[in-house]
Structure 1
Amino acid sequence: MQLIDIGANLTHDSFDHDRVAVMQRARDAGVARMIVTGASREHSPKALALAQAHPGVLFATAGVHPHHAVEYTDECDAQMRALHAHAEVVAVGECGLDYFRDFSPRPAQRRAFERQLQIAVDTGKPLFLHQRDAHADFMAMMKNFDGQLGPAVVHCFTGTREELFDYLDYDWHIGITGWLCDERRGQHLREIVKNIPANRLMVETDAPYLLPRTLKPMPKDRRNEPAFLPHIVEELARDRGEDTASTAAASTATAEAFFRLPETAAYT
């Protein structure tokens, strides 16, 4: 398998002591390329720096997660636009709405989301989206930009069947994580992932978060990492009634097209 992890938070401080080893384990597991998630003013530049240090292997997104929406000032907007001038930054986000945590006030979340949607319009880059417990407002805001946006992926999809079909009706892409492997919260996903067309389906770990609960053996530190992506793909393939190689190849091809990546990785 030559997988692409479309969402890895490799700038997280839990990787500071062994980031190179984490990347090597990913390579050994068949994870050829990774999109490093930029989700704040602090971490989006770090994501770009990582991508620049590992050309052809790591790519970056640049954006501000709704948890950090209060930091989205005019200065922040200018910073994000400067980051998007770099070719290594392949998507706008992580951006969206999160009414589950409400770490930032909802009006601030909507303002930050709207400004990043405008960046996507202006740059033509794809969107890397977050939505939790905010479906109605999320859809309303996306519809305000209908016809202006390029491709979009709802990353780390955990929603309902109805939400899934709303996204697919707009030809948006879906990112599946190890949430699928959580018997407490993700059981419903096993029933609906078969409805995602192969050319709309991508895979991700969201490392270091969302360690798959079915992984054996479990790492002692409970940290998720990109090397565990094949395990998620195996479970996903089983739930879709496909062989693992087919699911892997399709998700890789979809990610290459979505992020406009070169077809081969160049490890450094």
Structure 2
Amino acid sequence: MSKKRREIPVFDHPIIETHCHLDYLKDRPLEDTLKQSRQVNIEKVITIAVAPDNLAAVRTLTQTEDWVYGTQGIHPHEAESYTDDVDTEIRQHASDEKIVAIGEIGLDYYYDNADREVQRQVFRRQLQIACDHKQPVVIHSRDADDDTITILKEFESTLTRRGVIHSFTSGPGLAQYAIDQGWCLGFNGITTFNKAENVRDIVRMTPIEQILLETDAPFLTPVPYRGRENAPCYLPFVAEKIAEVKELPLKQVIRQTYQNSLRTFFPERG
């Protein structure tokens, strides 16, 4: 008989899912995903754009519920599909009422799905959109620490709102640069993985005031639900692991990361 998985904890204080991909979830209807999110006291969900063909899909999802928000941006995997028309579309919707950031943008030298120079050009173009619209940024950086720092330095004075380096798996150099520059670091189910001590080390060095909670659903399902499709409702497990690693009271982690999320994406409510 298989061991029964622990039930998802429900906190008294609300939490915010800062990074998921609602249009990529396949195991359950969207209505059920959102219902389950509410049942574990998730107050807001941010669903993230990654490709030209899901920019509009994300905008549509933000209209399903008043507590669902989105971003506009092109992932580095899709950098070679970035055109002037795509740039125009992102700009046209960058300041929509339900769009809270430019992203997911950045560099990925692990998979190299797009030419690295093209990735760098597209990263810069989208950072400029964030500057022009005074929006925060959701950054993806994998095996590209040095170039990520180099490019972000170019925008230090013009990017008035920072944002988050999400699903942080990079080294301490990029982490410290981001922390010093006022960025948040986003952590998800990877923090619960047995072999992710390097990520937990970054959690330890990151001030709790600069940590955001995310799932990156449908990817990176946390323990004890690995093997299932991830979903925003599993976010409480990430919060518990952050509290354990930081050796902080769980209530403090919940309240502080909630305020961090408001400050980053919803400053008028923070």
- Specify if TM > 0.5: yes
- Cα displacement (A) at 1:189: 2.2
- Does the alignment pair 1:77 with 2:87? yes
Q: What SS is found at the alignment partner of 1:52? A: coil
Query: Which amino acid counterpart does residue 162 of structure 1 have in structure 2?
Result: G
Partner of 2:230: 224
8 A Cα contact 1:45 1:83, kept in partner: no
* RMSD of Structure 2 on Structure 1 (CA): 1.6
Q: What SS is found at the alignment partner of 1:202? A: strand
Query: Which amino acid counterpart does residue 192 of structure 1 have in structure 2?
Result: I
Cα distance change on mapping 1:252 and 1:157 into 2, 3 Å: same
Query: Which amino acid counterpart does residue 136 of structure 1 have in structure 2?
Result: D
Q: C-alpha offsets along residues 69-127 of structure 1, whole Å, 9 cap, x if unaligned? A: 01111111001111213111110010000000011111111111111011011000001
Q: Distance in 1 between matches of 2:244 and 2:20?
A: 23
Ranked by relative contact order (alpha carbons within 8 Å, sequence separation 6 or more), the top structure is 1
Cα distance change on mapping 1:63 and 1:241 into 2, 3 Å: same
Query: Which amino acid counterpart does residue 6 of structure 1 have in structure 2?
Result: T
8 A Cα contact 2:48 2:104, kept in partner: yes
Q: Distance in 2 between matches of 1:76 and 1:189?
A: 34
1:1-268 aligned within 5 A: 1-12=13-24, 14=26, 17-55=28-66, 57-149=67-159, 150-184=161-195, 186-212=196-222, 214-215=223-224, 218=225, 222-260=228-266, 263=269
Q: What SS is found at the alignment partner of 1:14? A: coil
Which stretch of structure 1 is more off in the superposition, 251-260 or 78-87?
A: 78-87
- Cα displacement (A) at 1:52: 1.9
8 A Cα contact 2:107 2:141, kept in partner: yes
Q: Distance in 2 between matches of 1:144 and 1:158?
A: 23
TM-score, normalised via structure 1 length: 0.91
The runs of 5 or more residues in structure 2 that have no matched partner are: 1-12
Query: Which amino acid counterpart does residue 2 of structure 1 have in structure 2?
Result: P
8 A Cα contact 1:207 1:226, kept in partner: yes
